[in-house]
Chains A and B, each alone.
Chain A
Amino acid sequence: MSEQATLARPYAAAVFKRAKETDTTATWSQSLAFMSVVLKNEDISVVIDNPKVNKERLSALMLDICQEHINEENENFLKLLVHNNRLMLLPTIAKLFEAYKAEDEGYIEVEVFTAYALSKEAKQNFTATLEKTLGKKILMNVAVDKSLIGGVLVRAGDRVIDGSIKGRLQHMQKALQ
Chain B
Amino acid sequence: MQLNPSEISDLIKKKIENFDLSAEAHTEGTVVSVTDGIVRVHGLSEAMQGEMLEFPGNTFGMALNLERDSVGVVILGSYQHITEGDTVKCTGKILEVPVGEALLGRVVDALGNPIDGKGAIDTTETAPIEKIAPGVIARQSVDQPVQLGLKSIDAMIPVGRGQRELIIGDRQTGKTAIAIDAIINQKGTGIKCIYVAIGQKRSSIANVVRKLEEHGAMAHTIIVAASASESAALQFIAPYTGCSMGEFFRDRGEDALIIYDDLTKQAWAYRQVSLLLRRPPGREAYPGDVFYLHSRLLERASRINAAEVEKLTGGRVKGKTGSLTALPIIETQGGDVSAFVPTNVISITDGQIFLESNLFNSGIRPAVNAGLSVSRVGGAAQTKIIKKLGGGTRLDLAQYRELAAFAQFASDLDESTRKQIERGQRVTELMKQNQYSPMSVAQMAVSLFAANEGFLDSIEVNKVLDFEAALQLYMKSEQSELMSNINATGDFSNEISSGIRTAIETFINTHSW
**Interface residues in chain A, defined as those with a beta carbon under 8 Å from any beta carbon in chain B:** 1-2, 5-6, 151, 155, 157-163, 167-168, 171-172, 174-177
Contacts and interface: CB of A to CB of B under 8 A. Distances in A.
A5 B69 contact: yes
A2 B70 contact: yes
Contact of A167 (B24, B45, B58): B24
B27 to A, nearest CB: 4
Contacts of B27: 158-160
Given A1-B32, A5-B69, A159 B42 contact: no
Contact of B67 (A2, A171, A176): A2
A161 B32 contact: no
A167 B6 CA distance: 22
Contacts of A163: 23-24
Contacts of B32: 1-2
Contact of B69 (A2, A157, A160, A171): A2
A167 B54 CA distance: 14
Interface in B89-133: 89
B12 interface: yes
B35 to A, nearest CB: 13
Interface size class on chain B is 20 to 34
Contacts of A159: 25-28, 46
Interface in B1-43: 6, 12, 15-16, 19, 21, 23-29, 32, 40, 42-43
Nearest to B4: A177
Contacts of A175: 15, 19
A41 to B, nearest CB: 23
A158 B46 contact: yes
B283 interface: no
Given A176-B16, A177-B6, 20 more contacts: A1-B70, A2-B68, A151-B23, A157-B43, A158-B29, A158-B44, A158-B45, A159-B26, A159-B27, A160-B27, A160-B28, A161-B23, A162-B24, A171-B24, A172-B16, A172-B19, A175-B15, A175-B19, A176-B6, A176-B15
Interface of B: 6, 12, 15-16, 19, 21, 23-29, 32, 40, 42-46, 58, 67-70, 89
A176 B9 CA distance: 11
A108 to B, nearest CB: 13
Given A2-B70, A6-B69, A160 B15 contact: no
Contacts of B42: 1-2
Contacts of B24: 161-163, 167-168, 171
8 contacts: A2-B70, A155-B28, A158-B44, A158-B45, A160-B25, A160-B26, A160-B27, A160-B89
Contacts of B16: 172, 176
A162 B25 contact: yes
Which of A2, A5, A160, A168: most chain B Cβ within 10 A?
A2
A162 B22 CA distance: 9
9 interchain residue pairs of minimum CB distance: A163-B23, A2-B70, A2-B69, A5-B69, A158-B27, A161-B25, A158-B43, A160-B28, A162-B24
Contacts of B12: 176
A162 B23 CA distance: 6
Contacts of B40: 2
A162 B26 CA distance: 8
Contacts of A161: 23-25
A48 B259 CA distance: 60
Given A2-B40, A2-B67, A176-B15, A157 B26 contact: no
A158 B28 contact: yes
Nearest to A157: B45
Contacts of A167: 24
A172 B69 CA distance: 32
Nearest to B43: A158
A175 B6 CA distance: 11
Contacts of B28: 155, 158-160
B449 to A, nearest CB: 61
A111 to B, nearest CB: 12
Which of B21, B25, B29, B46: most chain A Cβ within 10 A?
B25
Contacts of A158: 27-29, 43-46
Nearest to A164: B23
A113 to B, nearest CB: 13
B63 to A, nearest CB: 13
B38 to A, nearest CB: 13
Contacts of B29: 158
A160 B42 CA distance: 15
A168 B45 CA distance: 24
A168 B24 CA distance: 8
B189 to A, nearest CB: 39
B6 to A, nearest CB: 8
Given A158-B27, A162-B26, A168 B69 contact: no
A175 B29 CA distance: 23
B133 to A, nearest CB: 33
A125 B16 CA distance: 31
